[in-house]
Amino acid sequence: MINKRPAWDVLDLLVVPVALAVLGAWFTWAQDQREANRNAREKRNEQRRHELEQEIEESRKTHEQEIEERRAQDTSLQAYLDEMRSLLLDKDLLGSSEEAGARTLARARTLTALSQVGPERKRSITQFLSESHLIHKHTKSNPAPDQVGSQRKRSTMPFLKKLGLVKEVTPKNSSSEADAPTNESDSAATKKKRPIVSLTNAALNRADLRNMDLTETDLSGTNLTGGTLSGAKLQGAVLSEASLVGTDLSYATLRKATSTGAYMNGADLSYSDLRDANLSKASLIGANLTSINPAVNLSSTSPSPGDSGTGLGGTDARERDRRGTSLNRTDLSDADLRGAILIYAGLDGANLSNAYLGGADLSSANLHGANLTYASLSGAYLGGANLSSVNEFYPGAPGPGKSSADKRGADLSNADLRGASLSGANLHGAVLRGAWLSGADLSYANLSNQPYAMFEGVDARVTDESGADLTDADLHGTILSGADLRGAIGLTQEQIDVAVGSQDTVIPDHLRRPSAWS
């Protein structure tokens, strides 16, 4: 028998050294791991310290840059005001002729200064120009400076003194002749005057111009993007092709302003006065033209007591709230108003021909006598809108001197109203020849048409136009008393059966008259 004991003895002798070796290896590995973790923590901490130092350094540099930028802007503003003071007092800028070099220099310095300063200082510059009467057109109501030069100079002094630019100024011409009223020929001549400093194509983006007096100021081509013009007086101002994207124009006075081709997408025009304004070809996509109080008479354009020519009857914001946004007789032809908010808007007699109103909210808007020929209102909401000829705003028959057009409702000839919501709308007397009403919701709308035909088909011997397209239109509860539906397209018996007609309603020969109509 072989003795195996020596082998076990060898193994017994090797157990302790092997265990010590394994333990040593594990200890070394743990030591290395602790060292690696410590190094990683130190590296992360170092990286964090470095990042924090960089952030502090960048913050310090940004702060220094802001301080330097403010200092540079203050220097630019002060240099501008100093030069303008020199032009006003030494070069007689207010009394200069239109061809004077002082005017050219003043405009160049103004445009340069506006491009160099921020929103706050842009307001300072604009306020200076406004209070110095340098940017307003000179009409009979706003006379030219050369006729009342000394008065204008004296009116400028308080603002110059407030800025610390002058201490005491004595007018050069203090005689009574300088203050004498102008004659009629002089007044007529002033109507042709241009502003002393034109702000056309100026950089006024993000400027805070709220409550600023910019009456009859030429701002055509001016960049006013993102600015604030809330409550500003812009009556008679020129904003043609100006950029007003996202601009706050709430409560602003824009009566008789010209904004042809202006970019006003997303602008806030709520409660503003736009009566007799020209917004043809303007882009107003998503603009807010909301007003309130449907009972207010938005048809009147005559000034109320205390109007002072603004058409607002005072400057109290609450008074403006009661009036709401007024677009009466405004020219909005070819304007892009897709998605615009026009709730309760006053559009009496407005020109919306060829306008894009797809998806616009015109609920409860007053569109009495508005021109909507060839307008696109596909998907627009006109619930409760007033497109009638005789309504609560115009009680009784038209008075003397008014034509038959005054008695007619809104002109929707050839308008695209497919899918539009006209539920509860007042369309009495409206003209819908050739209108597309496929899928439109006309439930409970007032389509009564005495004594004017609304859906009357035009005689083919005169024109090739057809009547209104009522395919799939919802006529449930729609008032059709007196309407002539002979020229309507797509009219079905089902639509007739749910509508409300009268013995005066004329329907196509192939349809049966409901017994309730007789």
- Per-residue HEC secondary structure of 386-399 comes to ECCCCCCCCCCCCC
Closest to 220 measured CA to CA, from 307, 135, 311 = 135
Q: What is the pLDDT of residue 3?
A: 57
Closest to 251 measured CA to CA, from 180, 312, 164 = 312
Give the Cα separation of 114 and 480 in Å (integer).
Answer: 60
Using the Cα atoms of residue 314, residue 134, residue 260 and residue 420 in order, give the sign of their dihedral: negative
Q: What is the pLDDT of residue 183?
A: 44
Q: What is the pLDDT of residue 462?
A: 25
- The model carries a pTM of 0.65
Q: What is the pLDDT of residue 153?
A: 46
189 token code pair: 């001549």
Q: What is the pLDDT of residue 469?
A: 73
Peptide bond into 451 cis (omega under 30): yes
Q: What is the pLDDT of residue 181?
A: 42
Q: What is the pLDDT of residue 449?
A: 52
Q: What is the pLDDT of residue 79?
A: 94
Closest to 382 measured CA to CA, from 432, 417, 433 = 417
The Cα diameter of the chain in Å comes to 150
Q: What is the pLDDT of residue 386?
A: 81
DSSP 387-453: --SSSTTS-SS--TT--HHHHS--B-TT-B-TT-B-TT-B-TT-B-TT-B-TT-B-TT-B---SSS-
Tokens 């008065």 map to which residue?
A: 151
Over the chain (518 residues), what is each successive 10-residue block's mean pLDDT?
A: 62 76 87 89 90 89 88 92 92 88 93 92 93 75 45 48 47 39 41 78 95 94 96 94 95 91 93 86 88 34 31 34 59 88 84 88 83 85 72 32 45 78 76 76 70 34 49 81 79 90 86 88
Whats the size of the chain, residue-wise? 518
Q: What is the pLDDT of residue 223?
A: 96
Q: Where are the domains of the chain?
A: 51-171+191-197
Q: What is the pLDDT of residue 311?
A: 30
Other Cβ atoms less than 10 A from the Cβ of 491: the count is 24
- SS3 per residue for 88-157: HHCCCHHHCCCCCHHHHHHHHHHHHHHHHCCHHHHHHHHHHHHHCCCCECECCCCCCCCCCHHHHHHHHH
96 token code pair: 């200069």
Q: What is the pLDDT of residue 111?
A: 94
